[in-house]
Chains A and B, each alone.
Chain A
């Protein structure tokens, strides 16, 4: 079946540090891949996505590249800010109008 595995948190970083949150997936066919972010007290928001191999999704300084050879979609940011503190979810969707399959989420805390 389809599944997503992401690194367990919590992750605590100092401001301006480099961030990597690992995500690997198992899926049949060619899924679309997503990163969602959940800020405290808010709903999930789409952060970025990639729909085919070698695509790079980017938004707000975050990047992730769809690597089919390693079935990975690692999230990176060069310099984190306190406002990036949130829970980050990696997810995949097989196709069309199908539901998302989520990883367990990684809590990031950035301290000044």
Chain B
């Protein structure tokens, strides 16, 4: 099956620093990538939708200047948490959408756990 990787899998940083998370579709070109955030014992909350070569569409309440998304190619999207604070600590998950014929399937990365001290 299709594989989506995320790097790093876990990161600990100091408050005020920026952290970049990469999401790669390893064996297919992704028409769209989605970024989710998951709090403990909570559901996945969509943060933004990105299409290659265009600006990301952010969900209401998500600060676009804080969570910078770059979708430089059909296999790579990055999420940068700028000036991270402890409340940004969370589990960040990306998914890549693969279009095959008329069907579209999303494949999820394993997630990145961010801890801001």
A interface residues, Cβ below 8 angstroms from B: 36, 41-46, 89, 96-97, 99-105
Q: Does B32 have its Cβ within 8 Å of any Cβ on chain A?
A: yes
Beta-carbon contact of A89 and B43 below 8 Å? yes
Is B108's beta carbon under 8 Å from chain A? yes
Question: What residues of B have a CB within 8 angstroms of the CB of A43 in the complex?
Answer: 4, 6, 93, 108-111
Q: Smallest distance from the beta carbon of B12 to chain A beta carbons, Å?
A: 18
User: For chains A and B in complex, what number of residue pairs have CB atoms within 8 angstroms?
Assistant: 44
Across the interface, name the chain B residue whose C-beta is closest to A44: B108
Taking residues whose C-beta sits less than 8 angstroms from the other chain, chain B's interface range is 20 to 34
Known: A41-B110, A97-B99, A99-B49. 20 other contacts (CB 8 A): A43-B6, A43-B109, A43-B110, A43-B111, A44-B44, A46-B105, A46-B106, A46-B107, A89-B43, A96-B104, A97-B32, A97-B104, A99-B46, A100-B34, A100-B46, A100-B106, A101-B46, A103-B43, A104-B41, A105-B42
Q: Are A42 and B110 in contact (CB under 8 A)?
A: yes
Q: B90-117: which have CB < 8 Å to A?
A: 93, 95, 97, 99, 104-111
Instruction: Identify which of A42, A46, A97, A102 contacts B44 (C-beta below 8 A).
Output: A102
